[in-house]
A and B are shown apart, each in its own frame.
Chain A
Amino acid sequence: MKKLASVTILLLGIMLIAITAEFPRWGDPQSPASTYLSPHFIEKTIEETSVPNIVTAVLGDYRGYDTMFETTVVFCAGAACFFILGAFRREDDDQIRYFRHKDTGVVLKVKPNGTRPNSRSDFERIDPTWTPYDFIVSRVASLMIPFIQLFGLYVVAHGHHSPGGGFQGGVILAAGFLLLALSHNLRTLSARVSNKTLGLMSASGVLIYAGWGALALLFGGNFLDYSVLGVLLGLDPIAARSMGILIVEIGVALTVMSTMVIIYNNVASVGAYDEGL
């Protein structure tokens, strides 16, 4: 059996190598890809969509279905992570909790049925695997996060003109959130943006993309044909395509950003959301 398998693999390998010889040569002007499709994209992108960045035009307009389902896959990844790790866990009360007095640094250990300090008092809850508050790292991270987020917004908005777009910008935006979680702790992140909000944002990103495409149906165009939405935006059909790509990219960025943070939250806290690393 093992011999049979190795002979089969060997034959398949020889077949693959033989087929490789039939492929068009690298950069062959006569190959099917170079004869009609690539020249069309390279020559007609500006006059058809008024987007200088061809990659964004292909991704957001010519190949809109593909990108829509890529966004859905990202959303599904976040949802799967949530369902595998977090669905059947609640914030259980049968655990020992630690509270630190903010002014003196005294740490209280509260047993499962003990009375906890009021959440608005001078005490803050800390993790069992609590590590000292690192001044340098958290200060520098707080200093840099606004700039990282701003840069992420630029990357999303400038996807037409420079390398970038929804996926890349979304990852940069998420990196800002993750830096906050890493430099402080997970609860600092959860206090700013809850897991529920993240889930809603993740779903609404897909909704923006698909809804914008479906809106074109109402205006008498095809699905994801942004040019008919120029009436809505007050633009001519060509400029409407460019604007449509931007709106779609915003949806992609929302989904990617929140899904990254959801995956981090789930994996870092094993589905519990509150304890952190």
Chain B
Amino acid sequence: MLDIIVVTLLVLGLIVFFGGSLGIVRFPDFYSRLHPAGKMDTLASLFMLGGLALYELNDISSTSVLTALKIMLILVFVFIASPTATHAIVDAGFRAGQKPWTQGQPRR
């Protein structure tokens, strides 16, 4: 039962990671490319690391619980750091004078 949940979470993470990469390649400009880079990667790490933490809890012992806790800590770190980094990059791009893409313009 636990294995099914773990595999589902990992596959979901892979799908979201794939969507994120596709978005980075396909979107037309700087700001819209950062959108999948910031959002999808954060969500996909939630799925992936959550699945790995659950897998560690397969047999409950002090070491496995500790490992799962460490993975959850990484998750918290990613959840704080990744959106902030995206925010900082967008901010820097705006200050550097990057114009957002509008409909009808060529891809950049």
Contact = CB atoms under 8 A, between A and B. Distances in A.
A, B: real partners: yes
Contacts of A147: 77
Contacts of B80: 140, 143-144
B5 interface: no
Interface in A109-138: 131, 134, 136-137
A141 B85 CA distance: 10
Contacts of B84: 136-137, 140-141
Contact of A137 (B77, B88, B95): B88
Given A144-B80, A144-B81, A136 B95 contact: no
Interface residues of B, number: 8
Interface string B80-92: 1100100110010
A134 B95 CA distance: 12
Interface residues of A, number: 10
A140 B81 contact: yes
Nearest to B88: A137
A184 to B, nearest CB: 13
Contacts of A140: 80-81, 84
A137 B81 contact: no
A151 B88 CA distance: 23
Contacts of A131: 95
A134 B92 CA distance: 11
Contacts of A137: 84, 87-88, 91
A141 B88 CA distance: 11
A147 B81 CA distance: 12
Interface string B3-24: 0000000000000000000000
Nearest to B84: A140
A56 B15 CA distance: 40
B12 to A, nearest CB: 27
19 contacts: A131-B95, A134-B88, A134-B91, A136-B84, A136-B87, A137-B84, A137-B87, A137-B88, A137-B91, A140-B80, A140-B81, A140-B84, A141-B84, A143-B80, A144-B77, A144-B80, A144-B81, A147-B77, A183-B88
Given A136-B84, A137-B87, A137-B91, 9 more contacts: A131-B95, A137-B84, A137-B88, A140-B81, A140-B84, A141-B84, A143-B80, A144-B81, A183-B88
